[in-house]
Amino acid sequence: MKKILPVFLALVLVLICQPGVQAQALKAGIAKKVITPADPAWLNGYASPQRFSPAAGIDHDLWAKAIVLEDANKKRVIIVTTDVLGLSHEISVDIAKKVNKKYGIERSQLMLNSSHTHSGPMIWPSAGMFDYDTQNMIVVAGYAQKLTADILEIIDNAITSLHPAKVSSGNGTAGFAKNRRDPNITIRPVDYEVPVLTISNMQNKLEAVLFGYACHNTTLGGDHMNINGDYAGYAQIELENQYPGVTALFFQGCGGDINPEPRGKLEHAIQHGKTLSASVQQVINGKMSTVSGLINSSFTEVPLEFPAFNPEQYQKEILSEDQYLQRRAKLMLNAYNKGWDMSTYKYPIQAIRFGKDLSILALAGETVVDYSLWTKKQYGKSGQLFVAGYSNEVMCYIPTKRILGEGGYEPNSSMIYYVMPGPFADNVEDKILKGIQKVMQDVGINL
């Protein structure tokens, strides 16, 4: 017996040191900061006459929030949520470079998501619909630079606060999302799922909840002139009221062609926020799945093609009395005259996986709901799967081939306001699906 005991203890020690056992341990760090503009801010999201002047007031604060998760091998993933319309390419790249330099975090390990509230501050040059005089340009550009600094600060604070944690995931539903495309179109898909991730300390005290929904934050219209996080903002407020001391983070799904209904009034935004919060609470109070394992991540950029550049189109548009057509034409012809390549856009796609328990797919831009539904159908059997749109940068709408063929706002006229030489070529969907397959395969999930 005396000889057997040391052998047994040695065997236990070997098992504990095996990767499969190590992988069960996760650490988490959480941080947040108010990003409500200190100066009078131009509101983003609508090209309405009222938006030709700064916001009138503030309904509630906007936030940037961060979760850092670290596995047993010290690999980290950072998830940042922001109550803004969308982050620009400039902001995304700047943050990624600085985080990499300071912490060695690779691009695939950093996910940035925007709620896409249409009552938040202008993020220049993302969806920059207006021309500004010198003073207003200082305010708009200054806010973008401060937002970058604020996000870097909360990443620092979240990493500093890393501690052993229990992570769980689940799914709920909410029914206020409606496909906003032409009602005469037969195919009008919707994704009602509410993905939920919770973080608790080792004493099972809830510390953070990350949740998503695939629906535009457009409950409030262009006539609403106060800063407001829309339904996503109210859902976060409601959850933090229900769970004092908990940080609630919202990530936007693939809601490019989805609107909340009813909409148009402040009480509608509050109502939808409470509906979403109730769904999240139901998930928290139910049976959730443990998330553990080693972290794996992948990031790629897919060149999305535009049709051949046609200067004659913009020579006509620059003579238009439509200020948005004229503005785009001016910028397009300026780029053309400088010989810049406008044939493609490098589109970011990202995947993060925790062991075999949970995967997150993060797609850039205003991704339409078809991409979420396709991904869940193809990969949904490989553990829990969250699909986010509006991630890393928001450059324009991302349609499918079907929506390109149908035409309308998302694939066509929206490109005017985003100052893009659109619409995309017909192969946009094929290229994105291949990009999704690549990153999913990289993290260990095959079709």
- Report the alpha-carbon angle 33-36-38, nearest 5: 115
What pLDDT, on the 0 to 100 scale, is given for residue 3? 52
What's the average model confidence in pLDDT over 164-168?
98
| Mean per-residue pLDDT, 101-126 | 94
**Residue 86 and residue 216 in contact, taking contact as beta carbons nearer than 8 Å:** no
Q: Is the pLDDT of residue 4 over 70?
A: no
Whole-structure pTM value: 0.93
Give me the chain's average pLDDT, please: 93
Q: Which band of pLDDT confidence, cut at 50, 70 and 90, is reported for residue 13?
A: very low
Judged against a pLDDT cut of 70, whether residue 11 lies above it is answered with no
Per-residue model confidence (pLDDT) at position 23 = 43
Peptide bond into 54 cis (omega under 30): no
- Local structure of 165: helix, strand or coil: strand
pLDDT band per the 50, 70, 90 thresholds, residue 40: confident
Q: What's the pLDDT at 48?
A: 85
Residue 121 DSSP label: B
Look at residue 248 in the predicted model and tell me its pLDDT. 99
Q: Confidence band (pLDDT; 50, 70, 90) for 22?
A: very low
Q: For residue 127, what pLDDT band results from cuts at 50, 70 and 90? A: low
Q: How large is the average pLDDT for residues 272-300?
A: 98
The pLDDT confidence band at residue 24, using thresholds 50, 70 and 90, is: low
Q: Name the burial class of residue 285, with classes exposed (0-12), middle (13-18) and buried (19+) by CB atoms within 10 angstroms of its CB.
A: exposed
Res. 273: pLDDT tops 80: yes
Quote the pLDDT of residue 128. Answer: 57
Torsion of CA 331, 336, 338, 344, to 10 degrees: 90
Whether 159 contacts 175, CB under 8 Å = no
pLDDT for res 124 = 77
Phi first, then psi: what are they for 257, rounded to 5°? -115, 25
**Burial track 72-102 (b if 16+ CB lie within 10 A, e otherwise):** beeebbbbbbbbbbbbbbbbbebbbebbeee
Q: What is the pLDDT of residue 113?
A: 98
Q: Which ranges in 130-170 belong to alpha helices (H)?
A: 134-160
Average pLDDT of the segment spanning 370-388: 94
Crossing angle (nearest 10°) for helices 266-285 and 230-242: 50
| Contact call for residues 150 and 38 (beta carbons, < 8 A) | no
Average pLDDT value for residue range 237-247: 98
Q: Provide the token pair at 403.
A: 């929506």
| Mean pLDDT for the stretch of residues 93-112 | 98
Note the pLDDT tens digit of each residue in 397-440. Answer: 999 999 999 999 999 999 999 999 979 999 999 999 999 999 99
Show the tokens assigned to 307.
Answer: 């049709």
User: According to the model, what pLDDT value does residue 18 have?
Assistant: 46
Checking if the pLDDT of 279 tops 70, the result is: yes
- 155 by Cβ neighbours in 10 Å (0-12 / 13-18 / 19+) ranks as buried
How far, in Å, CA of 341 to CA of 83, rounded?
A: 32
- Report which of 402, 434, 447 is spatially closest to residue 302, judged by C-alpha positions: 434
DSSP string, 351-388: EEEETTTEEEEEE-SEE-HHHHHHHHHHHTTSSEEEEE
Sign of the CA dihedral with 403 first, then 340, 390, and 442 last: positive
Question: What local confidence, expressed as pLDDT, does residue 137 receive?
Answer: 86
**pLDDT over threshold 90, residue 204:** yes
Q: How confident is the model at residue 263 (pLDDT cuts 50, 70, 90)?
A: very high
**Whole-number pLDDT of residue 132:** 81
Q: Which of 106, 165, 28 is nearest to 296 (CA)?
A: 106
DSSP string covering 209-275: EEEEE-S-B-SS-TT--EE--HHHHHHHHHHHHHSTTPEEEEEE-S-TTEEESS-SSHHHHHHHHHH
C-beta of residue 104 within 8 angstroms of C-beta of residue 87: no
Binned at pLDDT 50, 70 and 90, residue 135 comes out as confident
Q: What pLDDT does residue 17 have?
A: 46
Longest dimension (CA), the chain: 94
- d(CA 126, CA 91) in angstroms, rounded, equals 10
